[in-house]
Amino acid sequence: MSISNLAAIDAAHHIHPFSDMKALNAKGTRIITRGEGSHIFDSTGKKYLDGFAGLWCVNIGYGRPEIADAVQRQMNELAYYNAFFGTSTPSATLLAEKIASHTEGHLNHVFFTNSGSEATDTWFRMARVYWQAKGQPEKKIVIARRNGYHGSTVAGASLGGMKHMHQQAGSEITGIAHIGQPYWYAEGGELTPHEFGLKAAKELEDKIAELGADKIAAFVAEPIQGAGGVIVPPDSYWPEIQRICTENDILLVADEVICGFGRLGQWFGHQHFKVKPDLAPVAKGLSSGYLPIGAVLISDRVADVMINEVGDFFHGFTYSGHPVSAAAALENLRIIEDEKLVERVRDDIGPYFTKAWKSLEDHDLVGTAENVGLMGALQMAAEKKTRQRFTKADDFGSYVRNVCLENGLVLRATGDRMLASPPLVITEEEVDFMVKVTRLGLDAAWKVRGDYV
Ligand SMILES: *Cc1c(COP(=O)(O)O)cnc(C)c1O
């Protein structure tokens, strides 16, 4: 099968997620055929360092035979059984235990889904059911953040704070309110990051006062906003959020779909920020993307009500706890444990990446380079001194990304922020390559910057 053939077939039949199909078909789809470690290869044989771990998910890198073997074993033994009718499978049960073992004690219960979006729908319904069972059915509203991302189902798109998603098919779910994000560089004005973190958290307090704590079920946020542009909150932000949720008796939901499973140098992102969520959706790194699986981690506080008060929770998916996906996830977590990948990100490759990534701040285009562990962003600036942004930010970011791609590095652009989220197994040499090629992209963009201001 020739490459041009595959691209033509793709254009004729395949509608891609989050893609302008007319533009994509004109350009031609890039067909990825192979992966190994931190690299992917396309159908022309071109090799790329995957600085984005697929879509924030391939934490253990590509091509691990142990996972393929675990999947094959499980498929041969039992390809499918469900968890609906008083049954489970060894891999689903052991995976629930394994996940809980990494949560420092209070998130002891796991509800399985097939994706992060389904995990969002699951905790959203669960939070409301929890308050119903507690005799406070009017506590229904969920507060989320502008520029947050929680998936593409109707609840996910409504909870997310992406304006373009709301505009396309509405934001139909009622009882959702949005507050601002802790994005100091763009919105902090004259405040210090510390002051701005407190101000952004205060928006939650103000919104609760406006709507009434007795009407609010939960607040949801990503520990670090991913799709929104790897927005690292100021240190003052999360402790305030925790305090406000506790004082107002509102469930705190940490969307761990990206931050979970080692990316920030802890098993979960909320551990890095030292907060205690009541619910935490996960997906992506749970199986390193080898098979689809997601879950909601449930605190003892919520589980106690779900188990002892609710009775039947009328919710679930045919493939909740799919034994083959669970087998892949179990093996993935075994690899993360045995190879000490979380510790590696915290103590070794993470600090190395921080230093290398920060070195880009000397570039005239880079306003700030931020990261926690192996999740980073470069904020580009039209003028560094005034933190002035590019007007045609999306096109400018795409320009840099395309130069990097030509030079063998996959990064993602969100507006005028370049995002990095490499596999947790990335080597120092590969980090050096990332930074070298990113600098090439910035140099090329510097020459054409006038077209984008
Ligand atoms: C990717 C993502 C989701 C949605 O997960 P899917 O598996 O794509 O449905 C939800 N929340 C966050 C923070 C994500 O990054």
Domain boundaries, the chain: 31-60+342-451, 67-338
Nearest CA to ligand 1 atom 6: 116
Residues touching ligand 1 (Cβ under 6 Å) are 115-117, 120, 149-151, 222, 226-227, 255, 257-258, 283, 294
Question: How many Å lie between the centroid of ligand 1 and the Cα of residue 221?
Answer: 12
- Which of the 8 DSSP states describes residue 316? -
pLDDT band at 398 (very low <50, low <70, confident <90, very high): very high
Cα 257 to ligand 1 centroid, rounded to whole Å: 6
C-alpha 193 to ligand 1 mean position (Å): 27
Q: How many helices (H) and strands (E) does the chain have?
A: 18, 15
CA distance 100 to 87: 20
Q: What is residue 294's DSSP assignment?
A: E
pLDDT score of 171 more than 80: no
| pLDDT interval class at 296 (50, 70, 90) | very high
Model confidence pLDDT, tens digit, residues 341-350: 999 999 999 9
pLDDT for 143 beyond 80: yes
Rg over alpha carbons for the chain, rounded to the nearest Å, is 22
Q: CA–CA separation, 378 vs 232, rounded Å? A: 11
Are 265 and 348 in contact by the 8 Å Cβ rule? The answer is no
Pairing of strands 32-36, 39-42: antiparallel
CATH of the domain spanning 31-60+342-451: 3.90.1150.10
User: What span, in angstroms and rounded, lies between the C-alpha atoms of 267 and 310?
Assistant: 30
Q: What is the Cα–Cα distance from 352 to 205, expressed in whole angstroms? A: 38
- Predicted confidence (pLDDT) at residue 69 exceeds the cutoff of 90: yes
Residue 280 pLDDT level (bands cut at 50, 70, 90):
very high
pLDDT above 80: residue 1: no
- The pLDDT, as a whole number, for residue 169 is 77
**Does the CA dihedral 160-166-170-174 come out positive or negative?**
positive
CA distance 252 to 161: 17
- Share above pLDDT 70 across residues of the chain, in percent, rounded to a whole number: 99
Give residue 447's region: left, alpha or beta (phi > 0; psi -120 to 50).
alpha
Closest ligand 1 atom to Cα of 148: 13
Atom of ligand 1 nearest to the CA of 151: 4
Whether the predicted pLDDT of 4 surpasses 80:
no
- Summarize the confidence of residues 263-271 as an average pLDDT: 98
Q: Spell out the alpha helix ranges (H) of 113-169.
A: 116-133, 154-159, 163-169
* C-alpha–C-alpha distance, residues 274 and 235, integer Å: 11
Tell which CATH classification among 3.40.640.10, 3.90.1200.10, 3.30.9.80, 3.90.1150.10 matches the domain 67-338.
Answer: 3.40.640.10
Name which residue sits closest to atom 14 of ligand 1, judged by CA: 257
The mean pLDDT value of the chain amounts to 96
DSSP letter assigned to residue 299 = -
Distance 55 CA to ligand 1 centre (A): 9
Please report the pLDDT score of residue 172 as a whole number. Answer: 74
Q: How far apart are CA 342 and CA 209, in angstroms?
A: 39
Q: How far apart are CA 36 and CA 192, in angstroms?
A: 43
- Mutation to probe ligand 1, out of 150, 162, 270, 414 (largest number of atoms < 8 A from CB): 150
Ligand 1 atom having least distance to the Cα of 255: 13
Tokens describing residue 266: 């802890």
Of 16, 149, 412, the residue with max ligand 1 atoms within 8 A of its CB, to mutate for a pocket test, comes to 149
Residue 428 confidence (pLDDT) above 70: yes
- Determine contact, residues 146/180, Cβ cutoff 8 Å: yes
